[in-house]
Amino acid sequence: MAKQWSDGLTAGAGLPLTWVLAMPLLLSGISALSLVTHLLQAHPSGNGEGLLWLALLALGWAIAQGLWLNRELLRCLRRVDGRSRDLAAGHLTTGLPSDSPVVEFNRLAHSFNQMAERVQASLGRLQANLSDAEHWLAQYSQLSPSMNYTYVEVTEGDASERQTWYEYLSAAVTEIGEISVEAGLRDANAVRGLIHPDDAAGYLAAEMACEQTLSTFSHQCRIVTPSGRVKWIHNQSQPLRRDDGTIAWHGVVVDISSYKQAEAALQESETRFRQLAEAVKEGFFVYETETAQYSYVNSAYWKIRGLTPDMTTNSEAEWLASIHPEDRDRVEAALVHERQGKHFDQEYRYTTPNGELRWLRSRAFPLCDDLGTVVRVVGTVEDITDRKLTEVALRQSEARFRNAFDNAPYGISLVAATGQFVLANAYYCALLGYSEAELLTITFKDITHPDDWADDWVGFQRMMGGKTATYQIEKRYITKQGEVIPVIINAAPIYDDGGKPLYSVGHVQDIRDRLAIDRMKDEFISVVSHELRTPITAIQGALALLGVGMYESRPEKARRMLEIAINNSDRLVRLVDDILSFERLESGQVQLEKELCQVAHLLYQAIDSVQPLADQSGITIALTPLTATLWAAPDSVIQVLTNLLSNAIKFSCPNGTVWVKASTERLDAADSNLSVLFTVQDYGRGIPPEKLEVIFDQFQQVDVSDSRQRGGTGLGLAICKRIVQQHRGQIWVESEVGRGSTFSVALPLVQGDSHD
Ligand code: ADP
């Protein structure tokens, strides 16, 4: 049932048109009648012709006036008609003229013009609004292609007996509901019945509320289409009360399912993000540069900063103020860069409100608007205290290791499974004569003696293959200079994360000295055992002969045997004394007791002790003494001088002379210290040049018969050398075979000690 529009216009004041039209005729009739009556009274007998003419005249005038009025009226009506059409078509340009001699026409024209103006004005407004609405619709429909759905719904009655029908439904509305337009117009329930049962009550309540106040209805709810699909719609409509009391709703319906989906997805992703942000142990923050406030921080953030969420003191300034002064400038400079769009990544020390010092690492990513201005900063903050402490500890232990590695008194090398050098310490490099850089370009095969390589490689591979835990080998290296060096290597693997041997670290000991000492010891033992055996055999033999009473009848022979035994036991005593004294000196057991002693006194004592020996051979000892004081162990110096003198006597020709001299000398031009130089010179058999050095080693003699014939042990000069060394002095010999020898001992004389 459509509502009928009444035109609502009321009749204006004034004469009705019928009156206007009838008036002149009535007047003319009246005047013609009165004229005829007058004439008939004045001229009862005739003269009726004149009266007739007069009546005709009045009639003619009346007709003419009626025609004029008719024409005028029609003209006016046509004008109104024409202008009304123009107005209806929207082309009204000029108003009705108000120049009619009839005042009503002029009033009509005036009223029409006023109305036309108003109509035109409101039409203009309507058009403007319409074009606005169209523009808005067009815009919106660009955003949402499902937008342009309109309906006009009319509701009648109160809540209990509401009736609803649709006057207009765009095809799109029914498309959303998946029903036909006809069905929708025929049965309002075909549309309203689509509302999801759970949402229907809410929809109705909201609608009723708007209806009462005639306010805009804006509602979102779900519908279920006949095919069973659930859709989200947005209904935006305006209720209007019509004159007949019904409420007309004009509105649009939009399918917002995809928005709802997107919204749900967004919400889900935000929930996920929050869950994630709360789960991570790194602090997470979102900082708004415009408001200079943190718009989001996760719980780890509070913990790392040592703050609690109820604290209101979470500002950037407070953060900066809590940074260690030594780190603050650097962080602030990075912050300036960040605000210009650069990434921020800083490690710094930070003090929590309760005074705990922590190492933090902050990383932040500025987000810019279209103009490139940083509007937001998203970042993380991490507590790296443990890592930093570990780093420090690691650095220290690395430094300690490096120090131990570099300064180790043995070689350390690290080689890969291929034998390639990876690392070598200073000792190792020095031993091999290569620089570390040179070593890193070769393998250990290149420096291994070819004869030792096969065994070496087998052992190395067994260890690197995991068959043995360590590996040891005594082998020979060949240095860069070609020298062969015997070494002992102890190697162990360094494993990778999977427990597989990755490198081999080897400790290398140069065993040249050890081998030399071993050799010397072997020689020493064989010599000593031989030297000891000789006198013992002689003593044993002599005593055995005496024991069996072989020489009981020959006392001369028996005495000779006893002499041999005594001489050999003397020799044995000397030998044992020398060995013990040498061993004591060699092992550093004896610490020489130094004191101030007179050089001359030392010389006299030494000469006294060898005088009987000299006398035996008729040797003269010539002395050039010196008055000086030495800081020395006197007994040891006397032992040296005695030994040199007894050798000189032993190896001199009979009745010769041995010269003994002491003087102060400057041994070296560069040395500012003076030395006391003792020289013992003989004119005996001399020493061949190749023996000049070795006679200072133990058991070294120029001639194997020297010990037997001259009663020596071969230890004398070795003992002298040790004693002189312990005085930080020097001993040497100059000699010419057949012409004699000169032994020199120089002992340092500290300035001020000299008393000459
Ligand atoms: P020994 O007890 O045999 O003398 P030394 O060590 O004192 O032992 O001397 C070692 C060797 O040096 C001697 O055996 C001898 O061959 C040689 N020698 C030492 N002094 C002289 C010397 N003045 N003239 C020649 N040869 C000497």
- The pLDDT value recorded for residue 666 is 85
**Which class in CATH covers the domain with range 591-748?**
alpha beta
**CA-closest residue to ligand 1 atom 8:** 714
User: What region does 29 belong to: left with phi over 0, alpha with psi -120 to 50, or beta?
Assistant: alpha
Q: What is the dihedral of CA 308, 314, 317, 321, to 10 degrees?
A: 0
Instruction: For residue 715, give the ligand 1 atom closest to its CA.
Output: 6
Chain center to CA of 633: 69
Q: How far is the CA of 646 from the centre of ligand 1 (A)?
A: 9
Q: What pTM was estimated for this model as a whole?
A: 0.40
**CA-closest residue to ligand 1 atom 25:** 686
Interhelix angle 716-726/634-650, rounded to 10 degrees, is: 150
Instruction: Please report, for the chain, the start and end positions of each structural domain, with discontinuous segments joined by +.
Output: 2-109, 144-262, 282-390, 408-510, 591-748
Res 325 pLDDT > 60: yes
More confident residue, 642 or 242: 642
DSSP 143-188: H-TT---EEEEEEES-STT-EEEEEEE-HHHHHHHTS-HHHHHH-H
Mean pLDDT of 378-385: 94
* Percent of residues in the chain assigned helix, strand, coil, to nearest 5: 50, 25, 25
CA distance 568 to 535: 5
- The pLDDT value recorded for residue 48 is 64
Res 663 pLDDT > 70: yes
The residues lining ligand 1, judged by C-beta closer than 6 Å to any ligand atom, are: 643, 647-648, 651, 682, 684-685, 687, 695, 700-703, 706-707, 712-718, 741
Whether the CB-CB separation of 377 and 286 falls below 8 Å is answered with: yes
**Which class in CATH covers the domain with range 282-390?**
alpha beta
Whether the CB-CB separation of 692 and 738 falls below 8 Å is answered with: no
Using 50, 70 and 90 to split pLDDT, how confident is the model at 755?
A: very low
Highest mean predicted confidence (pLDDT) among 83-87, 141-145, 656-660:
656-660
- Burial-class residue 203 by CB neighbours within 10 Å (0-12, 13-18, 19+): buried
- The pLDDT value recorded for residue 711 is 66
Q: How far is the CA of 536 from the centre of ligand 1 (A)?
A: 23
Average pLDDT, the chain: 84
Write the CB contacts of 465 (distance below 8 Å, at least 6 apart in sequence). Answer: 501
- Strand positions, DSSP E, 529-665: 595-598, 620-624, 629-632, 657-665
Chain center to CA of 61: 119
Q: How far is the CA of 701 from the centre of ligand 1 (A)?
A: 6
* DSSP for residue 689: G
Sheet holding 411-416, edge to edge: 421-424, 411-416, 501-510, 484-495, 471-478
Mean pLDDT of 310-319: 76
Return the exposure string of 721-730: e unless at least 16 CB atoms fall within 10 Å of the residue's CB, then b: bbbbebbebb
CATH superfamily of 408-510: PAS domain (3.30.450.20)
Convert the pLDDT of each residue in 422-452 to its tens digit: 999 999 999 999 999 999 999 999 999 999 9
What is the fold, at CATH topology level, of the domain defined by 144-262?
Beta-Lactamase (3.30.450)
**CA-closest residue to ligand 1 atom 11:** 701
Greatest Cα-to-Cα distance within the chain, rounded to the nearest angstrom: 253
* DSSP for residue 290: T
Same fold, 408-510 and 591-748: no
CA distance 677 to 667: 9
Which of 698, 702, 731, 735 has most ligand 1 atoms within 8 Å of its beta carbon, as the pocket-test mutant? 702
Token code pair at residue 142 = 């660009």
CA angle 170, 173, 177 (to 5 degrees): 145
More confident residue, 191 or 603: 603
